[in-house]
């Protein structure tokens, strides 16, 4: 099914339509109104209510142009019940003519109480009379772009509605079961709602016609994800059965026992690795829940089977921490991982790549350099991606090998609310670590105005003098990296001056990797007591003796980010605290957001509330640009529809594959990226 735009549309208009995402006539049909104007009925002037849009009809009894305070066309329109003032600040001579004394006109607008009585500012006016009957439907107002008038857009949409057949993709008995109207009726109604249709119900997208559109969109999304999921199951991957040799050895040497949650997810991963198709599993666990050891055990299961493993992290600091940790853990097993990052000297990089290519090491750890630098693995069996939300979908897919495909384990500390996971990660399997290792002390969170900065200094001094350590996180400055760096340097200077008795360190993104590593090592060893940092420490840094974190300008940060940062403390036995320093005045939204972090310690709860506050685009992050956003449905408000779309998708694929196919065709015809397969 393809519905090309008619050849009669001029090139310039095609360009404007393309700007609105309209590439064929089905796109026109789905270009739904923002709101409506009611030109189906007339009100009496005497009955106008301020703020409630209405249409009135009458005779112009007065019309003049005044110049104070600025050039204004002032008219009076009279009907049987009273007089209404019309006011135009910008007007054309033609309008002035249209509104001359004696003309009968209809005015549509929002009345308000003005200086002379009830008035409308810039109402929409048209000549009244026998040749201008009242409209038979509410008038749609469409989202548009400069140079494309409503009338032109509306004309093309109405033509498409009229010409396209739009047979329903879903069988009538299914629609009856779901209590949803036919598709054609739904778009027809949304473009031309009959008089007296409740505009609020339309605006809230709660009208059955809206529900049908949203359901269709969600169904298409679920279908495409499921299709993708099934395709994966038909591809080949090496079978990596659990042999419990290396994994058992690691478990025996670890200083702790796995939590029940870690055992559960490990079992899920282990079972996936035994399959003949590639695993694509998302491992979610709050900060500090212990994902690294799970990753190490998964890696060992692949290594036990003679395959290689790549562990990729988004930042050097994080990659290096993993490297150091795994190197120590695996030393007793005689496994020496290779370290590969973009900042290595060319010679060292080549040496590492050589070891990997020759299969001399079964484990490669690094940044995305692992995959950018033409590194050839000898037999890659498993790819582990830490903090996967920091990578785009494209990068994720770039990991796929040729021929036989490696298994993939993606880890994320950014908790994804259930509805979002169902919607955007439906092509993945998901494991969740839902418990923290024992012995953690809850972090006390404080919201402190920047006006009380000095008190916070005292707190820092006190903690450090008592033998503990602290982080000072510098504000995020979106506009300029240089400015962000400068702020970090200034803050470091300020704190060094304030605490001559302490050793104050500084890490930031621009620091050469060797210096960064040296600073992190010094902090870990307790040689540095206060670490000033940009958000490079957001993920993964693990220093149990650090018990205080101050986050400067906390109002500028994302909630997930704040939660992650806070997770850097509270890892040891000492009572820990996170101080969120904020700058006055706080906007309403900023206040609400900080309150969420203040009141909740559960990452999932924070993410859920953040989703409600800001919508999924923000939460998934711009980097997830490969992920199709929903246009009509809202995963948080339409959770019920999403649930049924999910169930119906499975049902259709099982019982009515040709229906599923037709539905996908209609909704995905233009959107190949949606299938990202
Ligand atoms: P994250 O999930 O944030 O990546 P990590 O894997 O860095 O968390 O683990 C956080 C800390 O908890 C590390 O010091 C790790 O060694 C420790 N840890 C992990 N699992 C356990 C456990 N079962 N019992 C005690 N400590 C654990
Ligand atoms: Mg981690």
In the three-class reduction of DSSP (H, G, I as helix; E, B as strand; rest coil), residue 580 is classed as: strand
Please tell me the predicted confidence (pLDDT) of residue 672.
Answer: 45
Domain check: are 267 and 367 in the same one? Answer: yes
Ligand 1 touching residue 258 (CB < 6 A): yes
Ligand 1, atom 23, lies closest to the CA of 258
Please tell me the predicted confidence (pLDDT) of residue 465.
Answer: 93
**567-579 mean pLDDT:** 85
Ligand 1, atom 15, lies closest to the CA of 290
- Spacing, Cα 328 to ligand 1 middle (Å): 15
- Spacing, Cα 412 to ligand 1 middle (Å): 14
Residue 172 resides in a domain: yes
- The model carries a pTM of 0.70
Q: Are 596 and 614 in contact (CB under 8 A)?
A: no
Which of 408, 433, 458 is the last residue in one of the domains?
433
Domain check: are 29 and 51 in the same one? Answer: no
**237-251 mean pLDDT:** 95
Q: Are 361 and 337 in contact (CB under 8 A)?
A: yes
For residue 397, pLDDT over 70 is answered with no
Q: Which atom of ligand 1 is nearest to the CA of 289?
A: 2
Ligand 1 touching residue 435 (CB < 6 A): no
Which of 133, 152, 177 is the last residue in one of the domains?
133
Q: 477: pLDDT confidence band, cut at 50, 70 and 90?
A: low
Please tell me the predicted confidence (pLDDT) of residue 626.
Answer: 42
Domain check: are 479 and 417 in the same one? Answer: no
pLDDT tens sequence across 250-283: 999 999 999 999 999 999 999 999 999 999 899 9
Q: How many CA atoms lie within 13 A of 671 on its CB side?
A: 21
Domain check: are 263 and 411 in the same one? Answer: yes
Which residues have C-beta within 8 Å of that of residue 677, sequence separation ≥ 6?
A: 227, 228, 231
Q: Which atom of ligand 1 is nearest to the CA of 291?
A: 2
**433-454 mean pLDDT:** 89
Q: What is the sign, positive or negative, of the torsion defined by CA atoms of 405, 407, 411, 416?
A: positive
Residue 663 resides in a domain: no
Ligand 1 touching residue 293 (CB < 6 A): yes
Q: Which atom of ligand 1 is nearest to the CA of 386?
A: 4
Domain check: are 419 and 465 in the same one? Answer: no
Residue 385 resides in a domain: yes
Residue 624 resides in a domain: no
Domain check: are 459 and 414 in the same one? Answer: no
- Spacing, Cα 371 to ligand 2 middle (Å): 20
How many Å apart are CA 158 and CA 136, to the nearest integer? Answer: 14
Q: 550: pLDDT confidence band, cut at 50, 70 and 90?
A: very high
Beta strands in 67-178 (DSSP E): 72-78, 83-88, 104-109, 111-114, 117-121, 124-127, 139-141
pLDDT tens sequence across 602-645: 887 888 787 777 665 555 543 343 445 678 988 778 889 999 99
- Spacing, Cα 223 to ligand 2 middle (Å): 32
Q: Which atom of ligand 1 is nearest to the CA of 567?
A: 3
Domain check: are 554 and 413 in the same one? Answer: no
Please tell me the predicted confidence (pLDDT) of residue 162.
Answer: 93
Listed residue (326, 375, 371, 374) closest to 355, CA to CA: 375
pLDDT tens sequence across 193-203: 999 898 889 98
**548-577 mean pLDDT:** 86
- Spacing, Cα 508 to ligand 1 middle (Å): 24
- Spacing, Cα 558 to ligand 1 middle (Å): 24
Please tell me the predicted confidence (pLDDT) of residue 483.
Answer: 79
Q: What order do you get walking across the sheet with 308-312 strand by strand?
A: 338-340, 363-366, 308-312, 380-385, 407-412, 280-285, 429-433
**53-78 mean pLDDT:** 93
Which residues have C-beta within 8 Å of that of residue 145, sequence separation ≥ 6?
A: 16, 19, 20
- Spacing, Cα 511 to ligand 2 middle (Å): 22
Residue 451 resides in a domain: yes
How many Å apart are CA 625 and CA 623, to the nearest integer? Answer: 5
Rg (CA), the chain: 31
Domain check: are 31 and 53 in the same one? Answer: no
Which CATH number covers residue 97? 2.40.50.140
- Spacing, Cα 299 to ligand 1 middle (Å): 16
Which CATH number covers residue 539? 3.40.50.300
**577-586 mean pLDDT:** 93
Please tell me the predicted confidence (pLDDT) of residue 230.
Answer: 86
Q: Are 110 and 120 in contact (CB under 8 A)?
A: yes
Listed residue (347, 579, 601) closest to 454, CA to CA: 579
Beta strands in 491-568 (DSSP E): 504-507, 530-533, 546-551
pLDDT tens sequence across 216-237: 999 998 898 888 888 888 888 9
CA dihedral 56, 57, 63, 65 (to 10 degrees): 40
Which of 600, 631, 646 is the last residue in one of the domains?
600
Ligand 1 touching residue 285 (CB < 6 A): yes
Domain check: are 190 and 158 in the same one? Answer: yes
Residue 70 resides in a domain: yes
Q: 359: pLDDT confidence band, cut at 50, 70 and 90?
A: very high
Ligand nearest to the CA of 283: 1
**353-382 mean pLDDT:** 88
Domain check: are 449 and 563 in the same one? Answer: yes
Phi, psi of 527 (to 5 degrees): -75, -25
Residue 634 resides in a domain: no
Ligand 1, atom 19, lies closest to the CA of 290
pLDDT tens sequence across 110-153: 999 988 889 999 999 989 887 788 899 999 999 998 889 999 99
Listed residue (36, 40, 33, 76) closest to 55, CA to CA: 40
In the three-class reduction of DSSP (H, G, I as helix; E, B as strand; rest coil), residue 618 is classed as: helix
Residues spanned by the domain of 259 = 246-433
Residue 668 resides in a domain: no
Domain check: are 284 and 425 in the same one? Answer: yes
Average pLDDT of the chain, as a whole number: 87
Of the residues 250, 289, 437, 537, which should be mutated to test ligand 1's pocket, given the most ligand atoms within 8 Å of the CB?
437
For residue 467, pLDDT over 90 is answered with yes
Comparing 3-7, 97-101, 167-171, which segment has the lowest mean pLDDT? 3-7
Which residues have C-beta within 8 Å of that of residue 559, sequence separation ≥ 6?
A: 593, 596, 597, 606, 607, 609, 610
**492-507 mean pLDDT:** 94
Q: Are 674 and 626 in contact (CB under 8 A)?
A: no
Domain check: are 149 and 115 in the same one? Answer: no
Please tell me the predicted confidence (pLDDT) of residue 351.
Answer: 92
Please tell me the predicted confidence (pLDDT) of residue 623.
Answer: 35
Q: Are 126 and 105 in contact (CB under 8 A)?
A: yes
Ligand nearest to the CA of 567: 1
Please tell me the predicted confidence (pLDDT) of residue 368.
Answer: 81
Ligand 1 touching residue 111 (CB < 6 A): no
Which residues have C-beta within 8 Å of that of residue 659, sequence separation ≥ 6?
A: 169, 170, 171, 652
How many independent structural domains does the chain possess?
Answer: 4
State the CB neighbour count (10 A cutoff) for residue 446.
Answer: 13
Ligand nearest to the CA of 287: 1
Of the residues 263, 287, 290, which should be mutated to test ligand 1's pocket, given the most ligand atoms within 8 Å of the CB?
290
DSSP assignment of 63-87 equals EEEE-SSS-EEEEEEE-SS-EEEEE
Please tell me the predicted confidence (pLDDT) of residue 68.
Answer: 79
**317-337 mean pLDDT:** 91
For residue 390, pLDDT over 80 is answered with no
Residue predicted with more confidence, 286 or 213: 213
Run of H or E residues at 578: strand 576-582
- Spacing, Cα 593 to ligand 2 middle (Å): 25
pLDDT tens sequence across 160-204: 999 998 999 999 999 999 999 999 999 999 999 999 898 889 988
Please tell me the predicted confidence (pLDDT) of residue 615.
Answer: 62
For residue 571, pLDDT over 70 is answered with yes
Please tell me the predicted confidence (pLDDT) of residue 395.
Answer: 58
């Amino acid at each position: 099914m393809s519905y090309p735009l008619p050849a009669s549309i001029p090139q310039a208009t095609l360009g404007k339509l393309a700007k609105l995402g309209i590439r064929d006539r089905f796109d026109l049909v789905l270009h739904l109104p923002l709101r409506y104007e009611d030109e189906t009925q007339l009100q009496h002037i005497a009955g106008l209510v301020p703020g409630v849009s209405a249409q009135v009809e009458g005779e112009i009894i007065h019309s003049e142009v005044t110049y104070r305070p600025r050039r204004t066309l002032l008219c009076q329109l009279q009907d049987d019940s009273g007089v209404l003032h019309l006011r135009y600040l910008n007007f054309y001579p033609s309008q002035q003519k249209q509104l001359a004394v004696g003309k009968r006109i209809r005015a549509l607008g929002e009345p308000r109480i003005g200086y002379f009585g009830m008035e409308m500012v810039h109402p929409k006016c048209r000549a009244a009379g026998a040749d201008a009957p009242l409209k038979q439907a509410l008038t749609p107002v469409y989202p548009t772009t400069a140079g494309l008038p409503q009338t032109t857009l509306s004309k093309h949409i109405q033509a498409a509605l009229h010409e396209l057949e739009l047979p329903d993709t879903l069988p009538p008995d299914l629609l009856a079961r779901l209590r949803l109207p036919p598709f054609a009726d739904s778009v027809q109604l949304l473009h031309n709602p009959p008089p007296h249709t409740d505009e609020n119900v339309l605006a809230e997208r709660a009208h059955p016609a809206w529900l049908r559109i949203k359901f269709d969109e969600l169904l298409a999304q679920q279908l495409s994800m499921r299709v993708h999921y099934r395709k994966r199951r038909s591809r080949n991957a090496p079978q990596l059965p659990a042999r419990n040799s290396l994994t058992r050895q690691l478990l025996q040497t670890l200083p702790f026992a796995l939590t029940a949650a870690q055992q559960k997810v490990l079992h899920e991963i282990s079972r996936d690795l035994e399959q003949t198709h590639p695993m694509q599993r998302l491992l979610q666990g709050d900060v500090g829940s212990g994902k690294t050891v799970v990753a190490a055990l998964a890696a060992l299961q692949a290594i036990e089977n003679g395959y290689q493993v790549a562990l990729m992290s988004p930042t050097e600091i994080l990659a290096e921490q993993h490297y150091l940790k795994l190197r120590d853990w695996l030393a007793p097993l005689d496994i020496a991982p290779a370290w590969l990052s973009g900042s290595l000297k060319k010679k060292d990089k080549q040496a590492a790549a050589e070891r990997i290519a020759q299969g001399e090491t079964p484990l490669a750890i690094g940044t995305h350099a692992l995959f950018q630098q033409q590194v050839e693995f000898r037999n890659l069996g498993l790819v582990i991606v830490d903090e996967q939300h920091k990578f785009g979908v494209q990068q994720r897919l770039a990991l796929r090998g040729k021929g036989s495909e490696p298994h993939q384990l993606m880890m994320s500390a950014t908790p994804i609310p259930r509805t979002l996971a169902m919607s955007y990660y439906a092509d993945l399997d998901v494991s969740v670590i839902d418990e923290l290792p024992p012995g953690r002390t809850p972090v006390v969170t404080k919201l402190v105005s920047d006006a009380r900065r000095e008190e916070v200094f005292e707190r820092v001094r006190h903690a450090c003098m008592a033998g503990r350590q602290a982080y000072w996180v510098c504000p995020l400055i979106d506009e300029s990296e240089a400015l962000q760096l400068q702020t970090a340097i200034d803050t470091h200077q300020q704190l060094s001056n304030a605490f001559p008795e302490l050793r104050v360190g500084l890490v930031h993104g621009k620091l050469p990797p060797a210096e960064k590593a040296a600073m992190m090592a010094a902090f870990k060893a307790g040689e540095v007591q206060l670490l000033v940092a940009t958000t490079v420490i957001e993920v993964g840094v693990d220093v149990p003796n650090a018990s205080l974190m101050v986050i400067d300008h906390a109002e500028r940060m994302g909630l997930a980010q704040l939660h992650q940062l806070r997770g850097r403390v509270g890892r040891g036995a000492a009572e820990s605290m996170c101080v969120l320093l904020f700058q006055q005045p706080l906007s309403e939204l900023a206040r609400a957001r900080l309150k969420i972090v203040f009141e909740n310690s559960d990452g999932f709860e924070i993410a859920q509330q953040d989703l409600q506050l800001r919508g999924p685009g923000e939460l998934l992050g711009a980097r997830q640009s490969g992920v199709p956003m929903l246009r009509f449905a809202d995963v948080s408000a339409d959770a019920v529809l999403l649930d049924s779309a999910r169930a119906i998708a499975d049902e259709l694929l099982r019982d009515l594959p040709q229906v599923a196919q037709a539905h996908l065709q209609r909704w995905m015809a233009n959107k190949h990226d949606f299938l990202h397969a």
